[in-house]
Structure 1
Amino acid sequence: MAEKRFLSSPFGQEESGVICPSLTRRGLLVGAMGASVAAVLPPGARAAGFSAPEILPLERQDYADARRRFHTHLLRKMPAPEKSAALGTPPGAERVTYRGGPDGSIELVAWLSHYQPSKVERPAVLFLHGGNATGDGHWALMKPYWEAGFVVLLPSFRGENGQNGNYSGFYDETADALAAATYLENLPGIDKKRFFIAGHSNGGTLTLLAAMSRKFRAAAPMSAGVNSWRYFNRYSDEICFDETDEREFIMRSSVCFGPSLKCPALLLRGDEERPFDADHQLFVDRALSSGFKVDKKLLPGTHNGVVPGAVAESIRFFNEFA
């Protein structure tokens, strides 16, 4: 008999559901549309040894400059905290590799939509998946992009699916996302003036951090975490850095660097994820001083169920810049 329990999203939104007791987190990733991007961690997370500041710091220095000066201190060397099988090649994708990280020292797998380069350049979307592993279900959600004429690249990150590299909890993964962006924009036939970034959940978090590190034409983070204290307080088993150093949390929190945003952005979220209104509003308020248009929008759905609608909304948003 199926067991009734709660599925927890990375940022605290809980969904009641009935799932098979033997269904693994990986199984959720490669399942149906709504569950394909679920990010469910095993029970038993330890209590966090830190507390979030009452007022989230506002950093005046540019995030890209701060990244050049900061190096995360990993106290634990670990793979991405999600068991998963080696990556294959889902239908509609071409398996490619890119050199991850700031120094290009890690070869990582990415999935690229099929396209034929031509003299007419194509718009492109770098999409950053949710959870801490890459699954075929993530790729299935990309279909509307290529049907709308976008070239899509969905990268995996360090330590995922048996690949090399140490999980860092968003920081070095941002370097991977930026390396994947460089790979995509330099493919033949890509229009660099219509080069976009989007992502869901953990990928939404990385989308904002990447969009403060370099310029995209526009960004559409979905169910993004902007406050790393909130995330790691809930998922303390994922803390691999020095949690006594507040700077480690600041460098993983886009809300602390709102003025560093380098392109227009639309923050998308399900209307059942309302506990995070304050964090998102604070990010929007701070990011407005970047000089770019920043907005947020609620769509019908839960943390995972909102994804198809958010993808469609991101396409409408990106087409404003065509």
Structure 2
Amino acid sequence: MTTSEDNAFRPTRRTVLAGLAVTLFAPNIARAAETVAPVTKSVDAKVIDPTGKPAVAVTEPPLLAGDYAKERHKFRTDLLNKGPAPDKYEPLVAPSDADQIFYRSGLGGELELVAWVSRYERTPKPKPAVLFLHGGNAIGQGHWLLAKPYVDAGYVVMIPSMRGENGQKGNFSGFYDEVADVLAASNRLRHLPGVDPHRLFLAGHSVGGTLAMLAAMSAKRFRAATPMSGNPDSFAFFHRYPEDIRFNAKNPREFQMRSPICYAHSFKCPLKVMQASEEGTLQARATLLSKRALAAGIKMELVTVQGNHNSALPGEIEQSIQFFKSVAA
């Protein structure tokens, strides 16, 4: 995302619920997804690759056979443009009520990445935990404030940064190699002292919502997941944000492997997928995702929360907490 685009969309893409803006504002809280091309079965638009040439048509994404986790083992993304994540960022300083730890990801654990973890006391009974995936492509103090309700509800909370974010090593890939970071972070969280590995939950907003979907298809370790305002269709996402494409956009497989909607039968835990009432055509994609998942016997609930991409977030988080409690009851 370019600086000019960031400024142009700041009122809808970079702010939080008005009543919470003073305490929750951070430059990279969220990445809007409501203004995307509609789902259609005919070719109505083109995704533009970094060279400016039309690449992949935006149509209804295919439903593909095979398990997503197994497909990940066979697929390697082809990054044509290697470099850091596109968002401006804050210094990596842990919030006052959190600890900054590190986890390793990448081939052979070559990347050492930062994560923030809530402070907690070990108890005789291990505590449930939530891995919260931030919106945007950089971690900020505002994300920690957004996740506070999980801490208040008794969860150990970790917010991981991803490769290439906040000046860290690694190449931004846009919804692919970052999934490996999510899984590595979840492995670190579930092995923390006093954390119950059998009550590990996954939540994410916006970009983090899409990553939460992909991670929930990639490993059977989460008790439940709540993607919030995530776009399950990368064809549409990159049509809206072509400047974020770092991979070979001429290969449709690159988009498919970044699209939960193409592997909706692969989810490995119950989900509550939430979208804001003002997110427009994004709701159509969530509906198609749910239709495909339910047809495959996946336990998924699709909920619409009043508000826009950012203002609906407090309500989405509250519903997320209630869902986690109901699943673990």
Class of the TM-score when normalised by the shorter of the 2 chains = 0.7 to 0.9
Q: Which residue of 1 aligns with 2:226?
A: 220
Of 3, 6, 9, which residue of structure 2 is paired with 1:7?
Answer: 9
Give the letter aligned to residue 24 of structure 2: M
C-alpha separation in 1, matches of 2:172 and 2:324? 31
SS, match of residue 57 in structure 2: coil
Which amino acid in the other structure matches residue 225 of structure 2?
A
Q: Which residue of 1 aligns with 2:138?
A: 133
1:188 aligns with 2:193: yes
Letter in 2 for 1:38: A
TM-score with structure 1 setting the length: 0.87
Task: Measure, in 1, the Cα distance between the counterparts of 2:108 and 2:265.
Answer: 27
Conservation of the 8 A alpha-carbon contact between 2:233 and 2:259 = yes
Between 293-302 and 172-181, the greater mean CA deviation after superposition: 293-302
Distance change in 2, residues 1:31/1:160 (3 Å): farther
**1:292 is matched with which residue?**
298
The AA in structure 2 aligned to 1:233 is H
What pairs up with 1:163-174 in 2 under 5 angstroms? 163-174=168-179
TM-superposed CA distance for 1:31, in Å, is 6.2
Could you tell me how far apart the structure 2 residues matched to 1:280 and 1:172 are? 23
Q: Which amino acid aligns with 2:190?
A: E
Instruction: Compare 256-265 and 278-287 and name the one that shifted more.
Output: 278-287
For 2:90 and 2:129, the matched residues in 1 are separated by 28
How far, CA to CA, are the matches of 1:305 and 1:65 in structure 2?
A: 37
Alignment correspondent of 1:38: 30
Once superposed, what is the RMSD of the aligned Cα atoms? 2.3
CA shift in 2, pair 1:293/1:98, >3 Å: same
Which residue number corresponds to residue 78 of structure 2? Answer: 73
The structural deviation recorded for 1:103 is 3.2
**Aligned residue in 2 for 1:22:** none
Q: Given the two structures, how large is their TM-score scaled by the length of structure 2?
A: 0.85
Alignment of 1:1-322 (within 5 A): 7=9, 15=12, 32-33=23-24, 37-39=29-31, 49-101=54-106, 103-215=108-220, 216-322=222-328
The alpha-carbon deviation at position 75 of structure 1 amounts to 0.3
In structure 2, the CA distance between the partners of 1:154 and 1:290, relative to structure 1 (3 Å rule), is farther
Letter of the structure 1 residue corresponding to residue 89 of structure 2: S
Q: Following the alignment from structure 1 to structure 2, what is the Cα–Cα distance between the partners of residues 241 and 285?
A: 29
CA distance in 2, matches of 1:316, 1:150: 12
Moved more, 200-209 or 51-60: 51-60
Rounded Cα–Cα distance in structure 2 between residues aligned with 1:53 and 1:85: 34
Q: Secondary structure at the match of 2:273?
A: strand
> 1:85, 1:162 within 8 Å by CA — same for their partners in 2?
no
The answer as to whether partners of 2:30 and 2:205 remain within 8 angstroms in 1 is no
Which 5+ residue runs of structure 1 have no aligned equivalent?
9-13, 20-29
| Greater share of residues in helix | 2
Shift of 1:35: 6.0
Does the Cα contact within 8 Å between 1:102 and 1:175 map onto a contact in 2? Answer: no
Which structure exhibits the higher relative contact order, with contacts defined as CA atoms closer than 8 Å and separated by 6 or more residues? 2
Following superposition, the deviation at residue 286 of structure 1 comes to 1.3
Does the 8 Å contact 2:134/2:207 carry over to 1? yes
C-alpha distance in structure 2 between counterparts of 1:208 and 1:94, whole Å: 26
Deviations along 1:252-303, whole A, 9 cap, x unmatched?
A: 0000000000011011111111321221111111112443310111111110
Counterpart code for 1:100: S
| Structure 1 residue ranges (4+ consecutive) displaced by more than 4 angstroms after TM superposition | 45-48
Aligned residues: 299
Quote the Cα distance in structure 2 between the aligned partners of 1:130 and 1:16. 10
User: Tell me, what secondary structure is at the counterpart of 2:269?
Assistant: coil
Tell me, in whole angstroms, the C-alpha distance in 2 between the residues paired with 1:193 and 1:100: 22
Tell me: CA distance 1:128–1:212, structure 2 relative to 1, closer, same or farther (3 Å): same
Shift of 1:56: 1.2
Could you tell me how far 1:178 is from its partner in structure 2? Answer: 0.5
Task: Indicate conservation of the 8 Å contact 1:262/1:290, yes or no.
Answer: no
**Closer, same or farther in 2 for the Cα pair 1:31/1:66, shift >3 Å?**
farther
